[in-house]
A = this chain, B = another copy of it.
Amino acid sequence: MRAGRLSVFAAIIGLLSGASHPAVAEDGYDLWLRYHEVDAPSWLQSYRSAVTYLVSEGGSPTLDVARAELEQGLSGLLAGVVPVRDTVAKAGALVIGTPQASPLLAGMQLDLSGLGAEGYLIRRVKVDGQPATIIAANEDSGVLYGAFHFLRLLQTRQPLENLDIQEAPSLRHRMLNHWDNLDRHVERGYAGQSIWDWHKLPDWVDPRYIDYARANASLGINATSLTNVNANAITLTPMYLEKAAALANVFRPYNIRVFLTARFSAPMEIGELDTADPLDADVRRWWMDKAEEIYSLIPDFGGFLVKANSEGQPGPQDYGRSHAEGANLLADAVSPHGGMVIWRAFVYSDEEPDDRAKQAYTEFVPLDGEFRDNVMVQVKNGAIDFQPREPFHPLFGATPETPLMMEFQITKEYLGFATHLAYLAPLFEETLEARITGEPKGPTVADVIDGSLHGYADTGMAGVANIGTDRNWSGSHFDQANWYAFGRLAWDPQLDSGRIADEWLRMTFSNNENFLEQATGMMMSSREAVVDYMTPLGLHHLMARGHHYGPGPWVEGGPRADWTSVYYHRATPQGIGFDRTETGSNAVSQYAPKVAEVFADRERIPEELLLWFHHLPWDYRTSSGRELWDELVHRYTRGVEAVGEMRETWEGLAPYVDAERHRQTADFLAIQEKEAKWWRDASIAYFQTFSRRPVPEGYEPPEHTLEYYQSLSFPYAPGN
């Protein structure tokens, strides 16, 4: 207590006397779009000579925002106005545009054939003998993405001398899913309220929407679903469609299309119908009319994202119809307008299955080939629910005729909310790199979703957003990295997570090499630390009920067994783990034979997935030589220690980071360490009641009794 008070006073004084103006200055609002003056004189000089003015021929809202971003960015980075001129007259021009609109670029006879609508070319050229740089694309959206790429080069201190970059996105739909309700509550949101101020829309358009669009465009994100997948039919009423249209107007210049979630029973709730049966003619007519209405307000409306027959949501199965019949109903409605339907595969029927992990596969594989062309099925990375670690979802590769869209969770529902530092790109990467056939060089999940394996007509990746009204957007500074990494991977699923971390750190904090080495290391080990202190060795779904904050391995009872923890860990005095081999639920059989074979073999399965697929005795010998119980305690402990090391590392990085962002991160790491220990201690105390074994020598026993941990209550944890 005493120490706490002192530190508060220190903070007060420090902030007030140090700050030149507002006490809150470096608050993270600018995200990675910080255009501060290049701090290394040699780089600054080199950049200043490379770019002295802008030339932009042609005009469109998208080209206008691209040029404005370059003006703003270059003026900041180069600490001086970078003027816009009509023609190339001297060295240092940055020429942007499309050959269609720019005679200058057209005259260069560029080969842009491989770039599609959204790709771009950045190249160092000579114009009339003068060195210049061009950002060229087939469409204005490509120019915009190229502009952000160019700014990133300066932000990350890349040389501009011999540029010849060609980039095009691997996936067509790069999309955020906001789980935002109309009352501004964000389900599983830990960064304040929804940024959509529905009440004041469409009359008041918050300038923050523009910065949201800028941030997404800088990553290539080109779609956003505004509303919670646990959908509200009111979203589709005229009053709310006008509000969505106002947002779409802001996003359009940034090449971002708006999607809405569709509540399947909307025809009954906001229409006059007494059924929502997808084969009913009136229902079909209602959705056709509704689509017509939407497109009259939002001509580039993306389409519907649908969660149906899952966790109590209505759906086609309520009428004995299949998911395909439900999806096709909506697909037919938006098809005349060029829209699409994204149908979520995160489903489970009302009856308890023998294994929830099997259900999406079981329901969707038989439907392969039955969906309309403009339907994609959106699949979570794993078959349970965004756990710190899951094996890749068995649906990937199992639907050659149905384009699958990846669904990652950017918000950290199960990874410590906003305060825990967990860089998720390694988690995303682990899934994307998984070999679906088990062959060492065989196709990966990335090959499935980018369409290369099955020749999908459409491709995409969705991330459940971690964005809210918090000043720093994502609840913590390091959570911005997860938004960033998602966007970069949606553009190119082959990108390396470490490289993304480096890039983000440079743009967000510092280009100092010492800082980068240490901070990247901290980020790259962070998710594994969370796995260790929450769910080591393949354990999963052990969180407290409802809010998912803190440990709850003892959770049992309630409406359904597969919403409890005991269902998943299956601890007994004999052992622990979920037997998903032939002797158990046989979920392994949903994978390709070689994958199944490895997962089913307790000796060959990657040890980090051990208890996901196997129920093993407490004295099972793990690869470390430790018995299973001892290994669990070891890993829990290792996770806590890793957070301690992150804290130490971060303390040492104070010279490289402004005081305000450094302090918040340091304080959050302190919370993380406290809560990591809570997870460890509560888990050990609980599982010890089954293992009946002592905490091995050299490891601390839990600080409190199991009853203490079970007594803790957090009725107002956010995001519930």
Q: Which residues of A contact B (CB under 8 A)?
A: 1, 4-5, 8-9, 11-13, 15-17, 19-24, 29-30, 35, 61, 64-65, 68-69, 71-72, 75-76, 182-184, 192-193, 198-200, 202-205, 207-208, 210-211, 214, 234, 245-246, 249-250, 253, 297, 419, 469-471, 660, 664, 667-668, 670-671, 674, 714-718
Contact = CB atoms under 8 A, between A and B. Distances in A.
15 contacts: A4-B246, A9-B253, A12-B61, A12-B210, A13-B64, A15-B207, A16-B210, A20-B72, A21-B72, A22-B211, A24-B29, A200-B419, A205-B667, A469-B470, A471-B471
B72 A16 contact: yes
A68 B24 contact: no
Nearest to A190: B199
B19 A250 contact: no
A12 B199 contact: no
A660 B20 contact: no
B253 A12 contact: yes
Contact of A249 (B4, B15, B203, B469): B4
Contacts of A198: 716
Nearest to A668: B204
A16 B65 contact: yes
A29 B22 CA distance: 8
B203 A68 contact: no
Contacts of A183: 716, 718
Nearest to A19: B72
Nearest to A714: B199
A34 to B, nearest CB: 9
A267 B199 CA distance: 39
**CB-CB nearest 3 A-B residue pairs:** A16-B68, A182-B716, A183-B716
A19 B250 CA distance: 17
Given A193-B192, A674-B203, A22 B16 contact: no
Contact of A207 (B21, B29, B207, B660): B660
A289 to B, nearest CB: 19
Q: Which of A20, A203, A207, A718 has the most CB of B within 10 A?
A: A207
B76 A21 contact: yes
Q: Which of A4, A16, A214 has the most CB of B within 10 A?
A: A16
Contact of A204 (B193, B210, B211, B664): B664
Contacts of A76: 20-21
A623 to B, nearest CB: 37
Nearest to A211: B23
Contacts of A200: 419, 671
Given A182-B715, A203-B671, 7 more contacts: A5-B249, A9-B253, A23-B214, A24-B29, A199-B716, A200-B419, A204-B668
Nearest to A204: B667
A714 B69 CA distance: 38
Contacts of A718: 183-184, 199
B715 A12 contact: no
Contacts of A471: 471
Given A12-B250, A76-B21, A716-B199, A671 B192 contact: no
A640 B253 CA distance: 36
A517 to B, nearest CB: 28
B667 A11 contact: no
A190 to B, nearest CB: 9
Contacts of A15: 207, 210
A21 to B, nearest CB: 6
A182 B1 CA distance: 22
Given A199-B716, A674-B203, A71 B210 contact: no
A246 B204 contact: no
Contact of A419 (B184, B202, B204): B204
Contacts of A469: 192-193, 469-470
A234 B718 CA distance: 16
A419 B72 CA distance: 31
B199 A9 contact: no
B717 A8 contact: no
A5 to B, nearest CB: 5
Contacts of A8: 205, 246, 249-250
Contacts of A210: 11-12, 15-16, 23
Contacts of A61: 9, 12
Contact of A192 (B192, B245, B716): B192
A23 B246 contact: no
A76 B8 CA distance: 25
B23 A207 contact: yes
A714 B199 CA distance: 9
A596 to B, nearest CB: 42
A63 B282 CA distance: 74
Contact of A71 (B17, B65, B419, B714): B17
Contacts of A9: 61, 249, 253
A15 B72 CA distance: 11
Contacts of A253: 9, 12
A11 B213 CA distance: 14
A208 B22 CA distance: 10
Contacts of A5: 249
A4 B207 contact: no
A565 B161 CA distance: 74
A93 to B, nearest CB: 20
A24 B207 contact: yes
A504 B691 CA distance: 68
A183 B1 CA distance: 24
Q: Which of A11, A192, A200 has the most CB of B within 10 A?
A: A200
A668 B245 CA distance: 19
A212 to B, nearest CB: 10
Nearest to A71: B17
A29 B64 CA distance: 29
Contact of A12 (B65, B245, B670): B65
Contacts of A64: 13
Nearest to A720: B183
A35 B21 contact: yes
A668 to B, nearest CB: 7
B715 A234 contact: yes
A208 B24 contact: yes
Contacts of A419: 200, 204
